[in-house]
């Protein structure tokens, strides 16, 4: 499984700044977003902001063979968090016995899996390639089920040369509608991440949710991935997509190096009555063994302040 690439976009954003507009389509004027009620009329909002960590936070150590996915599970105990997002790029295999061993280790340590991930991109011009991507997603839905996880992160991706955003949206809907039908039968929700490519714009994310129209589909919301426009900064786009969030990834620095105001972000989740995981996704320069606990501590402090549990 290929890991989605981030390098080129990050270098570009550091140069261009936070209000960069990438192309006329991705920087469409923000429409008047319709907010979706997140509580029943007359009921009290009770946000449940649960602490988590993405295995990707330890990518440097995992890539170097200095850490295993088993170690990531044990680290969750040391960090005092609720769950691990099992970024699957460093699984030893997808054989049932191996997946069962991870699930059992997590259970014995009182750790749950908030989700898993597949790196396949749905933005494919070739119909045959879209079929292959669908089969890849189905494979990882099965893996997610074997892990006992409720959520699978999926990606749309970057447009191929000459393609339009609307074509990318069409291809993504075509693939993910079928994938959601398959996932729903297993009780698994798919969350498209607002990652590199067409989904770095709140309008596109919301359009995907509305047109796929499945209770088993939403947005894996990374608070640092939206590209600001003159019409809507990153915080406005976070707020607009929160009613559709199925899972969240948290970093404390935007792609351009600007600090994220986490004290501004958490109330947005609370007001949206979000119920789910706030998963650290550390990608800083420090050794993850030092940097991850620092980020997790910020998350834990804010969750204690704004969560109902």
Question: Residue 172 pLDDT > 60, yes or no?
Answer: yes
Residue 242: give the domain boundaries. 46-306
Nearest residue to 122 (alpha-carbon basis) of 87, 159, 94, 163:
159
Q: What gap in Å lies between CA 217 and CA 86, rounded to an integer?
A: 19
pLDDT (0 to 100) of residue 230:
87
Indicate if the pLDDT at residue 14 is higher than 50: no
Does the structure show a pLDDT above 90 at 225?
A: yes
Pairing of strands 48-54, 112-121: unpaired
Residue 135 has pLDDT above 70, yes or no: yes
Residue 122 lies in a domain: yes
Report d(CA 183, CA 145) in Å as an integer: 9
Per-residue pLDDT band at 36 (split at 50, 70, 90): low
* Structural domain contains residue 22: no
Residue 249 lies in a domain: yes
Mean pLDDT of 234-254: 97
Tens digits of per-residue pLDDT, 109-134? 999 999 999 999 999 999 999 999 99
pTM above 0.85, yes or no: yes
pLDDT at residue 37 in the model: 45
Residues 6+ apart with CB under 8 A from 33: 202, 206, 240
Quick one: average pLDDT of 11-17?
Answer: 37
Q: In this structure, is residue 176 part of a structural domain?
A: yes
**pLDDT tens digits for 70-115?**
999 999 999 999 999 999 899 999 999 999 999 999 999 999 999 9
Q: Would 8 be classed as within a structural domain?
A: no
Instruction: Kindly state the average pLDDT of the residues 241-247.
Output: 98
Q: What is the pLDDT of residue 42?
A: 52
- What pLDDT sits at residue 30? 41
Q: What is the mean pLDDT of residues 193-204?
A: 96
Query: If DSSP codes are grouped into helix, strand and coil, which group holds residue 109?
Result: coil
Q: Are 273 and 46 in contact (CB under 8 A)?
A: yes
Q: What is the pLDDT of residue 255?
A: 84
pLDDT mean over 128-157: 98
Classify residue 26: in a domain, yes or no: no
Mean pLDDT of 301-308: 97
Q: Is 57 a member of any domain?
A: yes
Task: Look at the chain and report how many structural domains it folds into.
Answer: 1
| pLDDT number for residue 4 | 44
Domain at 67, CATH number: 3.20.20.150
> Average model confidence (pLDDT) for the chain?
89
- 278 in any annotated domain: yes
The predicted pLDDT at position 29 comes to 36
């Amino acid at each position: 499984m290929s890991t989605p690439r981030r390098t080129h976009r990050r270098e570009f954003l550091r140069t261009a700044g936070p209000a960069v507009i990438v192309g006329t389509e991705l920087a469409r004027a923000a429409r008047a977003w319709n907010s979706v009620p997140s509580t029943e009329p007359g009921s009290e909002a009770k946000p449940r902001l649960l602490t988590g960590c993405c295995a990707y936070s330890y990518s440097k150590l995992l890539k170097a063979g200095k850490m295993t996915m088993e170690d990531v599970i044990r680290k969750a105990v040391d960090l005092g968090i609720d769950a691990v997002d099992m970024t699957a790029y460093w699984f030893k295999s997808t054989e049932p016995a191996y997946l069962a061993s991870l699930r059992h280790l997590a259970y014995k340590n009182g750790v749950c899996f908030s989700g898993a991930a597949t790196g396949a991109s749905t933005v494919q011009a070739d119909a045959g390639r879209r079929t292959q991507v669908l089969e890849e997603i189905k494979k990882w839905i099965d893996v997610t089920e074997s892990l006992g996880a409720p959520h699978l992160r999926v990606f749309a991706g970057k447009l191929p040369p000459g393609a339009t955003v609307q074509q990318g949206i069409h291809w993504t809907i075509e693939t993910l509608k079928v994938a959601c039908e398959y996932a729903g039968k297993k009780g698994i929700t798919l969350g498209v991440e607002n990652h590199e490519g067409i989904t770095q714009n709140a309008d596109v994310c919301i359009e995907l949710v509305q047109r796929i129209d499945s209770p088993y589909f939403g947005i894996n919301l990374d608070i640092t991935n939206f590209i600001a426009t003159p019409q809507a900064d990153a915080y406005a786009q976070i707020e607009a997509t929160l009613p559709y969030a199925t899972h969240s990834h948290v970093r404390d620095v935007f792609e351009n190096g600007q600090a994220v105001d986490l004290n501004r972000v958490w109330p947005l989740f609370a007001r949206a009555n979000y119920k789910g995981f706030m998963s650290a996704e550390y990608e800083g320069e420090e050794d993850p063994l030092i940097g991850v606990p620092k980020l997790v501590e910020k998350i834990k402090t804010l969750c204690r302040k704004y969560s109902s549990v």
